[in-house]
Amino acid sequence: MFANLEHVASPTPRLHLAFVAAIGETPGEEDPSDRLLDVETQLGWLREHGFEDVDCYWKWLEMALLLGVKPTEPPHTQTAAGQLQP
Q: What are the extents of the domains in the chain?
A: 2-75
pLDDT higher at 73 or 38: 38
> What's 27's DSSP letter?
G
DSSP H or E run through 56: strand 52-60
Q: Is 16 exposed, middle or buried (0-12, 13-18, 19+ CB in 10 A)?
A: middle
Query: What integer pLDDT is reported at residue 72 of this predicted model?
Result: 83
Kindly report, residue by residue over 14-63, the tens digit of the pLDDT: 999 999 999 999 999 988 888 899 999 999 999 999 999 999 999 999 99
Instruction: Please state the pTM of the whole predicted model.
Output: 0.75
